[in-house]
């Protein structure tokens, strides 16, 4: 594996094991020089905590990027997660154009919705802006809810393969080169991930754990990026990331005091073994 300098753009939730506090250690453990561009700083994440603080860093982003351009800093991959506003989405598109190497990869986790609903901070204007960004993705990492919003498809809790295939085809038609669709369940007690690449569908199924944990989407996306940049195929990386995320949940589910995230650190050694 060639040593790579990558950039990840998402918020910092100082406590809560999600966003940059997940992405930075996972990607670093996978051997990447991981540079960060925070979209906001929160005292904690917003699920289950009350009274959290938020500082929007939108106004800081142009100056940071201007400095990088002046220093001729480039990145072989740019991976985006939670973005706080439509203005930040527009900035990310400019960052792709200015700071990505000629053959660099754009990996986008739309991070805006789940369980049939948008996150509280977002509206349909945000969705429309995200559609444009996702249409430029080399790799797109949505869950089913996000895929529905990106393709103007009514959300269904019960679905068949034709429904999932339709979502994937619409996202590729809109411009995404490869789509990794997470949380796809065709069998009771099972869930998995579908990879759609070059017109080929590949499905990896694993057991579904009862415990729902905040931040697992960030864990999955970061592990996928780490595996993919270590030379794994999209399907191999999707499988590695799924197994790692399951292990993180397993390592957490018997600890009732650890309700705010998963103990992803305890499984890093297993993740790294995939690249040895």
Q: How far apart are CA 55 and CA 57, in angstroms?
A: 6
Q: How many domains does the chain have?
A: 1
Closest alpha carbon to 110 in 74, 81, 139, 86: 81
Q: Per this entry, what is the length of the chain?
A: 276
Quote the CA–CA distance of 157 and 6 in Å, as a whole number.
36
pLDDT averaged over every residue in the chain: 95
Token reading at 118: 């948008």
Residue 238 in this model has a pLDDT that exceeds 90: yes
Which residues are CB-contacts of 134 (< 8 A; sequence separation ≥ 6)? 108, 110, 140, 142, 150, 171, 174, 175, 176
What's the pLDDT at 255?
92
Whether the predicted model's global pTM rises above the 0.75 cut: yes
Res. 227 pLDDT band, cuts 50 70 90: very high
pLDDT at 210: 66
Torsion of CA 81, 182, 140, 219, to 10 degrees: 30
**pLDDT for position 2:** 74
The pairing of beta strand 178-182 with beta strand 139-140: parallel
The pLDDT value given to residue 145: 98
Distance, C-alpha 132 to centroid of its chain: 17
Q: What is the pLDDT of residues 176-225, one digit of tens each?
A: 999 999 999 999 889 999 999 999 999 999 988 866 788 999 999 999 99
Percent of the chain with pLDDT over 70: 99
Give me the domain span that covers residue 38. 5-273
Q: What is the CATH number of the domain that holds 24?
A: 3.40.1190.20
Mean pLDDT of 132-139: 97
Distance CA 123, CA 19 (A): 21
DSSP-assigned states of every residue in 88-139 = HHHHHHHHHHHHEEEEEEEEE----EETTEE-TT--HHHHHHHHHHHTT-SE
Token readout for 85 is 């506003």
168 pLDDT above the threshold of 90: yes
Strand partners, 44: 15
Which residue do the tokens 């049939």 mark?
116
SS3 211: coil
266 vs 245: CA distance, rounded Å: 11
What local confidence, expressed as pLDDT, does residue 124 receive? 97
């Amino acid at each position: 594996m060639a040593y790579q300098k990558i950039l990840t753009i998402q918020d910092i939730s100082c406590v809560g094991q999600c966003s940059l506090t997940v992405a930075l250690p996972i990607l670093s453990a996978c051997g990447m020089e991981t540079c960060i561009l925070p979209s906001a700083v929160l005292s904690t994440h917003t699920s289950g905590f009350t009274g959290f603080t938020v500082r929007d860093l939108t106004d800081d982003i142009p100056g940071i990027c201007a400095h990088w351009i002046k220093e001729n800093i480039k990145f072989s991959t740019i991976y985006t997660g939670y973005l706080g506003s439509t203005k930040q989405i527009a900035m990310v598109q400019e960052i792709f154009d200015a700071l990505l190497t000629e053959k660099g990869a754009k990996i986008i986790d739309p991070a805006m919705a789940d369980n049939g609903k948008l996150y509280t901070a977002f509206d349909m204007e945000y969705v429309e802006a995200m559609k444009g960004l996702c249409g430029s993705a080399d790799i797109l990492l949505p869950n089913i809810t996000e895929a529905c919003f990106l393709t103007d498809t009514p959300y269904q809790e019960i679905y068949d393969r034709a429904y999932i295939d339709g979502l994937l085809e619409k996202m590729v038609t809109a411009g995404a080169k490869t789509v990794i669709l997470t949380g796809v369940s065709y069998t009771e007690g099972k869930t998995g991930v579908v990879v759609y690449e070059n017109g080929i569908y590949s499905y990896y199924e694993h057991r579904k754990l009862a415990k729902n944990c905040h931040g697992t989407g960030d864990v999955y996306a970061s592990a996928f990026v780490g595996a993919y940049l270590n030379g794994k195929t999209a399907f191999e990386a999707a499988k590695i990331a799924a197994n790692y995320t399951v292990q993180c949940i397993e390592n957490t589910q018997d600890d009732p005091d650890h309700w705010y995230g998963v103990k992803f650190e305890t499984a890093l050694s297993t993740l790294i073994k995939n690249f040895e």
